[in-house]
A and B are shown apart, each in its own frame.
Chain A
Amino acid sequence: MVATKLKEYIDFSNDKDVDVDVTITIKEGNRSVDSIKKREKVTRFFLTIILYILVTFLALMMIFPFYWMIITSLKNNSEIISANQTFFPTIVMWSNYVYVFQHFNFVTYMTNTIVVAIFSTIGTLITTIFGAFAFARLNFKGREALFLVFLMTMMIPGEMMVISNYITVAAFGWIGENATLLDAYLSMIVPFWVSVFYIYLLRQNFKQIPNELYLAAKVDGKSDWSFLWKVMVPLAAPTLISITILKFMGTWNSYVWPNLVANRDEFRLISNGLRGSSFVDVESGRVEYGYQTAATVLVTVPLFLLFVLFRKYIMRGVGRAGIKG
């Protein structure tokens, strides 16, 4: 439109006309395009700032509990319950941590949790790799039907199983009066060796590995077994790492089942130890929040370290659940 209008006034083929300066102002309403553009730019700038302020505020709300946890763990009790709340401790009380280390069996709980986490992860990885391999690569009658049944079991609430599993584990002699630490470990590890969700996750990953690789391996005379371990497992390593970390985090967080089966203090996992410990001051009868939050910091920090180290794998593993769900 602009070009045709120009042509009416200036003839570019004529050398004399080329030197003429032309200014075109297009107006909308009473404002020129330049001023509208400028205005839009300013609005966008302010909108961006407001957006960032809003998002930052929301982000602070999200992490405020963590900040408050750390702050409270460093306060003394009178400051915690005082009428004037402080956003930074006036006296930094490292002694809360000393107390917790002395009175809270942190090392025992942590050892138990790590042992249970390691062995349940190993078991889960083995069953998951085998199961996913069978569903993704091998052909057998009723494969799709069986997989559908597997997926449907994910809908069953765990509470349905917990009751009978408790009875089963008791029948195995893993819980009860004479149960040893090993029994308690077994009762917390073995029932969680199968995860349908992880089988599903890994199957999806295995399926992406091209058929040609399998056929090429077959031509080279490789067995299914060596193909699984030499080709498929290394190629699916990121998913396997995700599963390992998520399983580890799951054990660190598990509360319900260990609470049922670990009937002695020295068998407890970290969550049970934390909730089961009393932080009540003997003299005042009040809960000592300083000790309590110091303990929660100790429970939370290892998880954060894990997150810092494996953020990519955790977020990818969790995120994949939704994309193909």
Chain B
Amino acid sequence: MENTTISKNYDLSLSRDQVFDGMKEGYLSKYDESKDVIVHFVSRKKAKEKFKVGGVLDNEQSNNWKAWLYLAPVLILMAIFLIYPLINTIVISFMSNYNYVTGDFDGFTLNNFGAILGLSDINGYRDNRLIDYGFVNTFLITFVTVPLSLVIALLISVLLNSLKWLKKVYQVVFFLPYVTNTIAIGMVFSVLFDKQGIINYIFGSDITWIYGADRWTAMVPLCIYIVWSSLPFKILILLSGLQGVDKQYYQAAKIDSTPKWRVLLRITVPALSPQILYLMVTSFIGAFKEYSSIVALFNGPGTSTGSYNMYTIVYYIYDNLTSNTSLAAAAAVILFIIILIFTFLQLWLSKKRVHY
């Protein structure tokens, strides 16, 4: 009874009345006992859409305009706030001295990119902040925090998964930092890392971490804060992935008395590879866009007044949004390109390594 065939040239051994009844219902079908199938009869003429599906009255064509009506609010808003701005920003990045209030500009140029990359002058001045601080800091933050937080999250979720009791409680505790305000907790971290704060007290050190700190020293509390705040999401995703791993693999490893670290590397990590890939892609994108955590910790672009040493690419964009719109747009385009390259690189590299 499962099989359904649609046939043109089937032996129509139906009585006139049966045919007539079928037509009234909208379609014609018959159960063929010898073949155990339901046969739907379609006329020799080109079948109408609604007969094609085999009994289901699914009128695709008439839904067409209705679907667009349902999509209208989404499409209109996306056109105004997503598609147009995307194109407009790219255009602005090629405009010389674009003024966002009046909309004036002095022709098209490539100089904006040259200026922020430190290659050429614009209006007689060269902006080295992005080259000296923005790119360096952004890449440093990305390549420190993303691998670090992934490894820590993986270890914690494996530990949590092996718990017998109180698993749920610990799960909630490790999720807590997700439910916080980035600015608020960042300000708490700046208290923790204060010169007279608890961190220096516990470790007996006397290091200036936040205000007036050396650029590389200030990276430490920043990276710790970013890792700390990105752990809950990763742990949640990895834990839900772990619960779906087939227990048989672990039993087989136990029989072979495989060492724990090998089980982790050879079974757990490959089994979690879809989740790890997802986290890699999203956290790389997130780390490239780091901004709020810097505002929260340092209350500005640098570790002291007038300093720009904690600049990231995104910080540069927001800082220059109104004063140098063209340069900000050029920086945004560069960020977009970097993110695209990294995302595709990861998806390409993962093709062989991710097991679905």
Contact = CB atoms under 8 A, between A and B. Distances in A.
B114 interface: no
Contacts of A222: none
A275 B68 contact: no
Interface in A20-58: 48, 51-52, 54-55, 58
Chain A's interface: helix, strand, loop or mixed, by majority? helix
Interface size bracket, A side: 35 or more
A231 interface: no
Interface string B152-190: 000010011011100000101111111111111101110
Contact of A138 (B67, B279, B296): B67
Nearest to A153: B82
A167 B185 contact: no
A232 to B, nearest CB: 12
A155 interface: yes
B191 A271 contact: no
Contacts of B160: 55
B74 A275 contact: no
A143 B67 contact: yes
Contacts of A165: 81, 85
Contacts of B291: 256
A259 B172 CA distance: 32
B159 A59 contact: no
Contacts of B285: 155, 157
A185 interface: no
A133 B70 contact: yes
B278 A325 contact: yes
B296 A194 contact: no
A51 B180 contact: no
B162 to A, nearest CB: 7
Contact of A68 (B66, B72, B164, B192): B192
Given A130-B74, A157-B332, A159-B335, A140 B100 contact: no
Given A126-B73, A303-B180, A161 B191 contact: no
A160 B85 contact: yes
Contacts of A315: 172, 175, 236
Which among B78, B162, B244 has the highest number of chain A CB atoms within 10 Å?
B78
17 contacts: A48-B164, A55-B170, A62-B231, A69-B185, A69-B191, A72-B191, A81-B196, A131-B73, A159-B317, A159-B335, A163-B85, A163-B321, A164-B89, A253-B181, A270-B181, A274-B184, A296-B184
Given A193-B73, A323-B244, 11 more contacts: A84-B201, A141-B64, A164-B89, A166-B322, A253-B182, A255-B183, A256-B318, A259-B318, A296-B184, A299-B183, A318-B233
